[in-house]
Structures are given as C-alpha cells and as structure tokens.
Amino acid sequence: MSAGPEQDNADLFRQALGDVTPLPPGDRALLAPKPRRYASPSLPSPSIPDTLTDHGAGDTALTEFLCNGLNRTTLRKLRHGAWPPRDVLDLHGLTNDEARKLLVEFLHRATQRGLRCVNIIHGKGWRSEGRDGILKVHTRHWLAQHAQVLAFCEAPANAGGSGAVWVLLRTKI
C-alpha cells in the first residue's frame, strides 16, 4: 500500500536529483534586495526636512551626478559596483509629491542605517511620447539637490537600466 501522494512526490523528487551535488558556498550569487514600497505615502516626520524643489528640472533627465570636489573616478567605481546597493526604493505609479516625500524619507533612513549605496527605481516613462518620463526627470533632479547624495549614475540593465539610478550616499557622521 502506498504512503500517499505527498510521499510519492518526495520520492520522485529525490530520484530526480540523483547525483546532483550542491554548489560550494563561495560559488553562490548574492541576491539584490527587493524593492521597498512603503504602505502609503506620508509626510516626512518633522525631523526630516523636505528642501527639494521641482524648479529648474527641465525636460531631460540627468544621466549622472557628482558632488563638487569629488574625483570622476568615484562615478566610475559606482558604475562598476564598488559599492553594491544595500536597499531599493521603487517609485513606480506614484505622483510627484508622493515620490518626493518617500524619497526624502528613504534617503534619511538609509543614511541613518549607514548605507553607502542604494538603488532608486523611478521607471522610464513609457507614455512620455519620446521625452524622458516626468518622474525620472524629477527624481534625478531631487537627488542632485539632496545634501546626503554624493553621486549617482544609471543602474546597470539587471538593476533597472535607465529606469533606475544607483546613489552613493555620505556616510553617517
């Protein structure tokens, strides 16, 4: 008499694995953090000032940003993953105001946690009729204004491509 379908499935699975050997721990790929989406956009706490403005954003998104006084080697290192992103924020589907407030809160928390690099996904703006998407333009404009942002560049294709940026943050003092 059979032990049941669950036992039969387990036996079939073990047979299918046969001579398979697990990879050694050093050969495993590190998984990127999952994008963070807060439950609902809220105002930043009073201790987190929102000084970012849309003024002067223009119609074209910045492709990169580097704080004054930093060497261009910093951007090259950021692009090549010298500081892999430790957290992700996904702004898809949010209004400009919601996205700005979440970005301010996220950057504040990332800095407090001592994160050096984060990935911000803003999307490409597919319905922008040949222009850069509004959220893409504004997100990058805000990042260039933020006091904790040292540099940013477009994320590699596997991390969002032109629909995301890797952001290098100041270390917590």
Which pLDDT value is given to residue 26?
66
Cβ atoms within 10 Å of 75's Cβ, excluding its own: 18
Confidence band of 2 (pLDDT split at 50, 70, 90) = low
Which pLDDT value is given to residue 15?
83
Cβ atoms within 10 Å of 99's Cβ, excluding its own: 22
Environment class of residue 5 by beta-carbon count within 10 Å: exposed (0-12), middle (13-18) or buried (19+)? exposed
Average pLDDT over residues 108-122: 94
Sign of the torsion formed by the C-alpha atoms of 100, 102, 105 and 109: negative
- Do residues 117 and 84 make contact, with C-beta atoms less than 8 angstroms apart? yes
Domain 25-169 = CATH 3.30.420.40: no
Question: Residue 29 corresponds to which tokens in the numbers above?
Answer: 């790929």
91 CB-near residues (< 8 Å, 6+ apart):
99, 102, 103, 120, 121, 122, 123, 135, 139
The torsion angle over the Cα atoms of residues 59, 158, 106 and 123, rounded to 10 degrees, is 30
Confidence band of 153 (pLDDT split at 50, 70, 90) = very high
Query: What backbone torsions phi and psi does residue 143 show, to the nearest 5 degrees?
Result: -60, -40
**Residue 150, SS3 per DSSP:** strand
Q: Is the pTM of this model over 0.85?
A: no
Strands 117-121 and 164-169: antiparallel
Confidence band of 61 (pLDDT split at 50, 70, 90) = confident
Domain boundaries, the chain: 25-169
Higher pLDDT, residue 34 or 110? 110
Cα separation of 171 and 70, whole Å? 14
Cβ atoms within 10 Å of 20's Cβ, excluding its own: 6
pLDDT digits 0-9 by tens, 21-52: 776 766 555 555 655 554 444 545 556 666 66
